[in-house]
């Protein structure tokens, strides 16, 4: 067993901490090189690099953690590999082969195993795969040289002291255009959400609920998490739209709800004017798994869920406990969901 770094695991924040090794592979002259783990955390590039001028960059996010029986594992990295490939295609970037993506994840975690937080601390090793156009581009066109990288950074539990229900607002800003890039994990989607999130925070809200930009009548998602709703008769509903980013957490929770917990599940258009009919609401993403939403502010009018502002609703809690139980090795997960690193 490798000696762990001397880190106060229980008090980690969700901030970047430099670790020992990162993975890098370069695409040049039409092909990816062999890739390697390196120590240098700095990137040198042209002032005219495509990523700096035209934001040709995409990313992924996943976590490595220690299970109850002491194994280091990652959760469904094949889906991150697939999603990065889809993002690459939409952004005119070369696909990094999916099996190489998984191998790069394994190499990065192994090389930084001393930073994988111990079981029971609530902390995890966050992995950030990303790809960007690096050669100089001034006329508008895609780059022809790229880097695929993964760095790792230990992070604390997203919500210290348990998840308290959030209050969010309906945003007047849009996250993604109807035929735009909302369904891929492009840095540009986040760049344009920064003003909206700062505005929401300044007004005292935790997050924005974005609506479909065309009709502004349907629920899309927040800046970085998909919605799950629970009806009063315990059906799990998630919004359907081709401008939502397909969250791996949300897709996993829907499978768990249907196949393991026996709930009826439905992916359909969800209208703003039906929000008051739901019993529970949660935000799904890798960072927090599910963050409960207690209240939605629609231009001063409050939509309060019966689950209240003190704790997660009972169905949300059951979903959360089951998926995190699978991730932590306390419950059996579906075949192929847990990749053991060592
Ligand atoms: C990454 C992301 C999510 C969450 O996806 P997970 O795979 O569950 O981490 C949701 N929405 C957006 C916009 C995202 O970028």
Residues 32 and 70 in one domain: yes
Residues 183 and 257 in one domain: yes
Q: Does pLDDT of 243 surpass 70?
A: yes
Domain closes at, from 120, 155, 190: 155
Cβ partners under 8 Å of residue 41, min gap 6 = 18, 22, 151
Q: Does pLDDT of 161 surpass 90?
A: no
Task: Let me know if residue 334 belongs to a domain.
Answer: no
Does residue 246 line the site of ligand 1, with CB under 6 A? Answer: no
Residue range 198-210: mean pLDDT, rounded: 97
Q: Which atom of ligand 1 is nearest to the CA of 182?
A: 13
Average pLDDT, whole number, for the chain?
A: 96
Half-sphere exposure of 139 (CA within 13 A, CB side): 1
Q: Does pLDDT of 115 surpass 70?
A: yes
Burial 46-64 (b: 16+ CB within 10 A, else e): eeebbbbbbbbbbbbbbbb
Residues 172 and 122 in one domain: no
Task: Let me know if residue 31 belongs to a domain.
Answer: yes
Q: Which atom of ligand 1 is nearest to the CA of 287?
A: 9
What is the Cα–Cα distance from 94 to 6, expressed in whole angstroms? 39
Residues 188 and 316 in one domain: yes
Residues 86 and 110 in one domain: yes
Contact criterion met (CB below 8 Å) for 113 and 71 = no
Task: Let me know if residue 76 belongs to a domain.
Answer: yes
Pocket test for ligand 1, best of 62, 74, 173, 286 (most atoms within 8 A of CB): 286
Does residue 60 line the site of ligand 1, with CB under 6 A? Answer: no
pLDDT digit string, tens, across residues 249-303: 999 999 999 999 999 999 999 999 999 999 999 999 998 999 999 999 999 999 9
Residue 333 CA to ligand 1 centre (angstroms): 21
Q: Residue 103 maps to which CATH number?
A: 3.30.470.10
Our answer to whether residue 141 is catalytic in this structure is no
Task: Let me know if residue 298 belongs to a domain.
Answer: yes
Contact criterion met (CB below 8 Å) for 324 and 289 = yes
pLDDT of residue 178: 93
Does residue 249 line the site of ligand 1, with CB under 6 A? Answer: yes
pLDDT digit string, tens, across residues 2-47: 789 999 999 999 999 999 999 999 999 999 999 999 999 999 999 9
Give nearest CA residue, ligand 1 atom 10: 225
Task: Let me know if residue 171 belongs to a domain.
Answer: yes
Task: Let me know if residue 56 belongs to a domain.
Answer: yes
Helical segments of 98-221, H only? 98-111, 187-191, 194-202
Does residue 221 line the site of ligand 1, with CB under 6 A? Answer: yes
Residues 185, 218, 318, 339: which is the catalytic one? 185
Residue range 95-124: mean pLDDT, rounded: 97
Task: Let me know if residue 138 belongs to a domain.
Answer: yes
* Count of domains observed in the chain: 2
Q: Residue 316 maps to which CATH number?
A: 3.20.10.10
Pocket test for ligand 1, best of 74, 129, 225 (most atoms within 8 A of CB): 225
Domain closes at, from 93, 125, 155: 155
pLDDT of residue 89: 98
Residues 17 and 126 in one domain: yes
Residues 185 and 228 in one domain: yes
Residues 181 and 124 in one domain: no
Residues 73 and 98 in one domain: yes
Nearest C-alpha neighbor of 274 from the set 305, 245, 300, 311: 305
Residues 186 and 248 in one domain: yes
pLDDT of residue 1: 57
Residue range 207-226: mean pLDDT, rounded: 96
Residue 224 CA to ligand 1 centre (angstroms): 5
Beta strands in the chain (DSSP E): 22-28, 31-32, 36-38, 57-59, 62-66, 72-75, 124-133, 146-155, 166-170, 207-209, 226-231, 235-239, 264-268, 278-285, 289-298, 301-304, 338-340
Domain closes at, from 109, 125, 155: 155
The boundaries of the domain holding residue 199 are 166-327
pLDDT digit string, tens, across residues 116-151: 999 999 999 999 999 999 999 999 999 999 999 999
Does residue 80 line the site of ligand 1, with CB under 6 A? Answer: no
Pocket test for ligand 1, best of 224, 249, 252, 255 (most atoms within 8 A of CB): 224
Residues 176 and 113 in one domain: no
Q: Does pLDDT of 342 surpass 90?
A: no
Q: Which atom of ligand 1 is nearest to the CA of 223?
A: 13
Q: What are phi and psi of 113, to 5 degrees?
A: -60, -30
pLDDT digit string, tens, across residues 330-341: 999 999 999 999
Residues 131 and 181 in one domain: no
Task: Let me know if residue 134 belongs to a domain.
Answer: yes
């Amino acid at each position: 067993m490798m000696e762990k770094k001397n880190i106060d695991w229980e008090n980690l924040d969700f901030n970047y901490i430099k670790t020992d090794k990162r993975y890098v592979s370069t695409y040049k002259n039409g092909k990816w090189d062999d890739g390697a783990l390196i120590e240098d955390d700095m990137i040198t590039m042209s002032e005219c690099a495509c990523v700096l001028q035209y934001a040709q960059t995409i990313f992924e996010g996943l976590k490595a953690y220690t299970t109850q029986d002491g194994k280091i594992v990652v959760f469904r990295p094949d889906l991150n590999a697939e999603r990065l490939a889809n993002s690459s295609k939409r952004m005119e970037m070369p696909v990094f082969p999916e099996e190489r993506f998984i191998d790069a994840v394994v190499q990065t975690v192994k090389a930084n195993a001393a930073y994988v937080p111990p079981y029971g601390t609530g902390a995890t090793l966050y992995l950030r795969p990303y790809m960007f156009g690096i050669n100089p581009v001034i006329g508008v066109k895609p780059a022809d040289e790229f880097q695929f990288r993964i760095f790792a950074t230990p992070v604390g539990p997203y919500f210290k002291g348990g998840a308290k229900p959030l209050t969010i607002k309906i945003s007047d800003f849009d996250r993604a255009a109807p035929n735009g890039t909302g369904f891929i994990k492009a840095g540009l989607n986040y760049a344009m959400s920064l003003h909206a999130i700062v505005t929401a925070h300044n007004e005292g809200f935790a997050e924005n609920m974005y609506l479909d930009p065309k009709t502004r009548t349907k629920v899309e998602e927040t800046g970085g998490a998909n919605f799950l709703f629970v009806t009063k008769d315990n059906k799990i509903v998630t919004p359907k739209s081709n401008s939502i980013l397909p969250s791996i957490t949300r897709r996993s929770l829907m499978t768990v709800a249907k196949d393991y917990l026996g709930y009826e599940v439905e992916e359909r258009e969800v209208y703003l004017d039906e929000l008051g009919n739901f019993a529970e609401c949660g935000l799904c993403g890798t960072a927090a798994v599910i963050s409960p939403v207690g209240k939605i502010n629609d231009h001063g009018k409050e939509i309060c869920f019966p689950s209240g502002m003190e704790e997660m609703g009972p169905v949300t809690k059951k979903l959360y406990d089951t998926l995190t139980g699978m991730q932590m090795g306390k419950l059996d997960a579906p075949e192929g969901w847990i990749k053991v690193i060592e």
